[in-house]
A and B are shown apart, each in its own frame.
Chain A
Amino acid sequence: MAVKKFPVEYTHIMMFARSVGDDNPIYHDEEYAKTTEVGGIIAPPTFAQASAQFDPDFFLRPKVGQPWMGSGREPTGLKPKAPSGGEKKEGGGGGGGLHAEQHFEYHRHLRPGDVLSVTVKPGKKWEKEGKRSGKLKFSETISEYRDQKGELVITARGVGVQTERVVEQK
């Protein structure tokens, strides 16, 4: 997802670390972080993915005044036949799509105060016959995270997969 402005903030890092079950003080304790090699709070390795919060159109976030695929009075808020969610976008992990792969390359680690921008390029596409979910359509996206100086800080490659049907359980 392309994002114009992704401000990296202390509170977001602290809450993100909690949400991945990581109580390492490097993610929330400035006094401790000062005494370490990195010299200050940094973000956990998968934090870049939270750029979704700053994409105004991110399709996996409910929007004010718009129908949402999740349950309310009914099991889904979307009207006619939407077997596994709404609008289908590629490369993400929603609707009928799942996240197949994710790769990060760190040119440096993110810190509170960084203001990032993210550009996204489509990558390869391929298909495969899956044993547990029918035909699989893969598509790749390359995201480049740049800091306030325009320097490349993280390169991310994501692979999304659209499955023909719900994945059978082993």
Chain B
Amino acid sequence: MPLSAKKLKVGDTHSEKVVENLHRTQLVMYSGTSGDYNPLHSDEIFSTKVAGYPSVFAHGMLSMGLTGKMLTNYVGDGRLTKYGVRFSTQVWPGDDLTATATVEAIREEGGQHYVDLAISTRNQKDQEVINGSATARIDP
């Protein structure tokens, strides 16, 4: 259901657990569809022995994709006009991620209503892994 300007207020939030116990297979799936086959995300031997990381880790774009699910569930399909993020902490196998959108503004432009959202995705240690913003078309 699309959001409605009448029913929204600044400070409203929507939160979803977008992944629980992120598994390495999910990283392999994302490599396969996105075309980003960087072995840092799928090859434990390369990631630990050559690159020096503790294990493989998630593509930033996978975290953005997981967060995007919360966003489209909230604003409705086909309603996003902008979605941008900054990757602040790496995401590792075993992580749980919770994504939250907070209403920052409700506005009208040329007869169309929009909502501006702040986005934050946090892991099970409450570290922010993504922060960003989004804008969506909403109903009056």
Contact = CB atoms under 8 A, between A and B. Distances in A.
A24 B39 contact: no
A103 B34 contact: no
Interface stretch (A56-64, A121-129, A145-153): A56-64
B60 A102 contact: yes
Nearest to B49: A75
A101 B18 contact: no
B34 A52 contact: yes
A142 interface: no
Q: DSSP class of B's interface residues: helix, strand, loop or mixed?
A: mixed
A100 interface: yes
Query: Size range of the interface on A?
Result: 35 or more
B86 A101 contact: yes
B60 A98 contact: yes
Contact of A167 (B19, B64, B68, B90): B90
B51 A166 contact: yes
A104 B83 contact: yes
A102 B84 contact: yes
A99 interface: yes
B34 to A, nearest CB: 5
Contact of B54 (A75, A76, A103, A169): A169
Main secondary structure of the interface of A (DSSP, over half): loop
A66 interface: no
Contacts of B29: 15, 18-19
Nearest to A161: B87
A155 B123 CA distance: 29
Nearest to A68: B39
B124 interface: no
A45 B117 CA distance: 15
A94 interface: yes
B82 A49 contact: no
Q: Looking at B61, B66, B78, B86, which has the most chain A CB atoms within 10 Å of its CB?
A: B78
Contact of A50 (B34, B38, B127): B34
15 contacts: A36-B77, A37-B2, A46-B64, A52-B34, A52-B35, A55-B35, A61-B35, A71-B43, A93-B59, A100-B87, A101-B85, A102-B84, A103-B83, A105-B81, A106-B83
Interface of B: 2, 18-19, 26, 29-30, 32-40, 42-43, 45-46, 49-54, 59-62, 64-66, 68-69, 71-73, 76-78, 80-87, 89-90, 127
